[in-house]
Amino acid sequence: MKTVWEERGERKSVVAPLSLIVSAFAPVLDVRRTLTPQLRIDFGDTDLILIDLGRGKNRLGGSALAQVYNRWGDTVPDVESPEELAAFFAAIQALNAAGRLLAYHDRSDGGLLATLAEMSFAGGCGLTVLLDDLAENPLTVLFAEELGAVVQIRAADRAMVMRRLAAAGLGECSHVIGAPNGDDRLILRFGGEIVFSASRTELRRLWSETSYRLQALRDHPDCAREAFEAACDPADPGLNVRLTFGPAEGLAMPPVATGARPRVAILREQGVNGQIEMAAAFDRAGFAAVDVHMSDIIAGRASLADFHGFAACGGFSYGDVLGAGEGWAKSILFNPRAREEFAAFFARPDSFGLGVCNGCQMLSNLHELIAGTELWPHFVRNRVEQFEARLSLVEVLPSPSLFLQGMEGSRLPIAVAHGEGRAEFRAGAGAGAALAAGVVALRFVDNLGQPTERYPANPNGSPGGITGLTSRDGRFTILMPHPERVFRTVQYSWHPDGWGQDGPWLRLFQNARRWLG
């Protein structure tokens, strides 16, 4: 693209882009075999192997080291052999499919030092690395951004893995370079001496500070500081799980064996995009999920009288403008036909409803139509002042919610994706009153399991971590997080080993099916 204009008689032009970036895509045959940089310290003795496709050249042109010293260099890393790169890819795929790789990190974006540090951060452990076989000068191998990768394997698999790499023509450039240590330090050895040693916490603080300074300018500065402190806390155990149901009965319940599939309306409004996941979750729990748009109800093409329950979905209703869920609620409250439909549905003793994200925001603004919801808050802009999308940890509290029966006391990861999730309670109906009344169903907790208002464990700043509530009779539940996005284990970005196909959040949807009998 080129733009040309005249300014004060001078002809000017701008050409963009100035560089070419080529992206490629390929199908993923089995997402369960995804590799991450997270080092595993629960598999006994393990080794780190550097697969050096640069074959010892360690070219520093354009590297971070060269830029820091304002010496750009003449020679940059390059793909010397496309055939070797293809062989490397095939070997990694084969080793991964055989379950031989525990962790993986590409080297070419940052160099070996950045790779090792990031694997240490992800694994929450230290590393001891021997550099002698890699270069005559340790700086070159640590900062060269040559092609290659570091993989973690079980020590018992070393001979087999090295044979597989040799068969791919990579034997001479594959080096066992070290292993995790119990000192929580990154230790680099060269020539029989320790040339670098630093604590993981110290390195993580240095690594995170640039992001922290930028975030403090963009977001709420207190939230940026809290995130920085959390990332650099050496005692943080990371995401973890506590289940109060299973494992004897499995994470999910057996299906209701009546053969009937009750109808549930998957309710959406303009811009909502979470209806497919919601329908899939209810379908897996034994319902017949039916797509119902608000325009169908307003026009009289669909009636809630034909459904046992509904789920109000999330995902950018009305383009995710501020107060989108409130606008959705007003389309019901100020439309006689829609208001009558919802009021009659809420009054039925055999109906239930679930509101998630925008749907949570919408239902909270319909509290005047729903008995037993006088303590519900409405939801406003996140304290961090940004849209938040992450895997967060929540605790299931004892409540009458039909969706969460048998899950009380569980601590579970769940997907969040919202810009307005902070609960704001009306005067005289604070968070304490809702907790005392037993209508709080979910709350954010930190990685030690304590309710929190600190960011990022609490992504929106809700008081007491409150992020889910129920009506006093338990038939209507509102949640800001997204259980429908993690009802299958494969949907998690992280989960404990040993989970089967169904994740624990499927229980929420199965509870609704069992409630109907």
Any idea which residues carry the catalytic annotation? Answer: 357, 482, 484
Query: 392 pairs with which residues across the strands?
Result: 414
Residue with tokens 């092609």: 147
Spatial contact of 242 and 449, defined as CB atoms under 8 Å apart: yes
Q: Which of 442, 466, 441 is nearest to 452 (CA)?
A: 466
Collapse the DSSP code of 35 into the 3-class scheme (helix H, G, I; strand E, B; otherwise coil) and give the result.
coil
Distance of CA 29 to the CA centre of its chain: 21
Spatial contact of 268 and 292, defined as CB atoms under 8 Å apart: yes
Pairing of strands 185-190, 126-130: parallel
CA distance 418 to 485: 13
Q: Which of 493, 503, 470 is nearest to 280 (CA)?
A: 503
- Token readout for 459 is 């992504």
Distance between the two ends of the chain, CA-based, in angstroms? Answer: 63
CA distance 462 to 464: 6
> Is the N-terminal amide bond of 456 cis, ω within 30° of 0?
yes
- Token readout for 69 is 């010293």
Query: 185 pairs with which residues across the strands?
Result: 199
CA distance 6 to 124: 57
Burial 432-454 (b: 16+ CB within 10 A, else e): eebbeebbbbbbbbbbeeebbbb
Spatial contact of 341 and 303, defined as CB atoms under 8 Å apart: yes
C-alpha pair distances (Å), 5 with each of 11, 17, 354: 6, 18, 56
Taking each helix axis as running N to C, give the angle between helix 112-123 and helix 200-218, from 0 to 180 degrees, rounded to the nearest 10: 90
Collapse the DSSP code of 494 into the 3-class scheme (helix H, G, I; strand E, B; otherwise coil) and give the result.
coil
The 3 state secondary structure assigned to 392-435 is: EEEEECCCCCHHHCCCCCCEEEEEEEECCCEEECCCCCCHHHHH
130: CB partners within 8 A, 6+ apart: 177, 178, 189, 190
* Amino acid at the residue 384: V
C-alpha pair distances (Å), 312 with each of 143, 272, 294, 352, 445: 51, 9, 10, 11, 25
